[in-house]
Amino acid sequence: MFHKVKSAIQIAALTLTFFLPFATAIMVKHFSTSITERGKNTPLLFGPKGDRFDLTISTLFFRGDPLSQLSMADFQLLDEEKRGLAVPLSLGFTARKFPVVGTTVDYFIARNIVTKAGTVPLTLGDAVLGNECATTLNAQIGDHILTDQVNLYDLSASYPLKLKVVGILDQTKSADDNAIFTSMGTAWVISGLGHGHEPLNEETANDKLLGKTEKQITANASIEQFIEINKTNINEFHFHSDLARLPVSSIIVFPKSPKDGTILKAKYLKHQKIQPLEPNKVIDELLDVVIRLKRLFDSSYAITSLASVLFLTVLILLSLQTRKRESKALFLMGCSRGTICMLFSAEIIILCIFSTLFALVGAYALTFLGSDILQLLL
């Protein structure tokens, strides 16, 4: 306590030395636990041919834009196998920067997710918010959230859709907490594959029409398109495609048994369009890369720690030189050389204990803050 400045410098140097390896180890462990648990809770994943890491991350954590799509026909083929619960997902859109996930009610059943308030999305335009999403947006049931514009400079892009909040999910401590869930139909409307506009009939003004025959009426761009789905206009929304052709980003399957899962995966191993994945194995491959990077960082930390130890050794030796009179006074008072050595060693141990505590507190604080950052990155 007498040498306050010197002690503060030593504690700061030791804290920084201990902080980096502690923080890396804790964050990697936290990341590994959360991502592995998500993978274990998703037995099988079917998606378009391509990078398996991108497909797994986008499906499990709703991050990234799907480069290619399956179709509802592919989903129906999987569902007709009757070997488990198949759940389609439509990804790639956001609302207030939160991912919008189009799916069915089966998703919440399979994930064992319940609503904290309200219901799951049942009709077009309905949305249910994850727990963290609702807290961040300060949203309540009955509020409206506008989806983000895909491309401000694309004149052919669909208009943003006004989603009605009908429910808030209970906390799951997973990626579901930071997502907005809608029905598949709503996701297709967001993508522009479906839309609603004022009815076209004999009473429609001629300046809103491109052509008119006995069998068909063709409207121009001036026709009013609805950006909100409500009870008065829900029947005006329609899709300009057959249901079987509408896109699906990926399909999660929860098999009835390990045997059913194995048979289903084997059947699609050589499929030209669809690739079957076991997310748990893909996550293990991803974690293997993370562990290798951690080992590289550990090597650099070892070199940094050695440099810090040498610096502190020099500092301690210089300190002992400046405290010769103190050591001599202790010796004249009757302290043996061993006792004097123990006193100085105790000072170093106390400094190391405080530095370790500060480093651990900082590392855990960074982990809790970094968990949100990791979810955003994923």
User: Are 90 and 174 contained in the same domain?
Assistant: yes
| Residue 154 backbone phi and psi in degrees, to 5 | -95, 105
How do residues 108-152 score in pLDDT, each as one tens digit? Answer: 999 999 999 999 988 888 999 999 999 999 999 999 898 887 654
User: Are 13 and 111 contained in the same domain?
Assistant: no
How do residues 17-43 score in pLDDT, each as one tens digit? Answer: 788 788 777 777 777 777 888 888 899
Would residue 340 count as lying in a domain? yes
User: Are 165 and 93 contained in the same domain?
Assistant: yes
pLDDT at 50: 85
Give the span between the Cα atoms of 130 and 95, in whole angstroms: 13
State if pTM tops 0.85.
Answer: no
Give the span between the Cα atoms of 55 and 47, in whole angstroms: 7
User: Are 14 and 48 contained in the same domain?
Assistant: no
Domain stops at, among 253, 277, 301: 277
Would residue 203 count as lying in a domain? no
How do residues 353-366 score in pLDDT, each as one tens digit? Answer: 888 898 888 887 87
Give the span between the Cα atoms of 237 and 16, in whole angstroms: 60
User: Are 59 and 123 contained in the same domain?
Assistant: yes
Where residue 101 falls among pLDDT bands split at 50, 70, 90? very high
Structural domain total, the chain: 2
Residue range(s) defining the domain that contains residue 261: 44-193+241-277
Would residue 216 count as lying in a domain? no
How do residues 41-75 score in pLDDT, each as one tens digit? Answer: 899 999 998 888 889 989 998 887 776 789 999 99
User: Are 94 and 160 contained in the same domain?
Assistant: yes
How many contiguous H segments (helices) and E segments (strands) does the chain have?
10, 16
Where residue 156 falls among pLDDT bands split at 50, 70, 90? very low
Would residue 219 count as lying in a domain? no
User: Are 85 and 166 contained in the same domain?
Assistant: yes
Would the pLDDT of 231 be above 90?
no
Instruction: Give per-residue burial for 252-290: e unless 16+ CB within 10 Å, then b.
Output: bbbbeeeebbeebbeebeeeeebbbbbbbebbeebbeee
User: Are 273 and 295 contained in the same domain?
Assistant: no
10 Å CB burial of residue 198 (0-12, 13-18, 19+) is: middle
Identify which of 79, 96, 97 has the alpha carbon closest to the alpha carbon of residue 88. 79
How do residues 298-325 score in pLDDT, each as one tens digit? Answer: 777 777 777 777 777 777 777 777 777 8
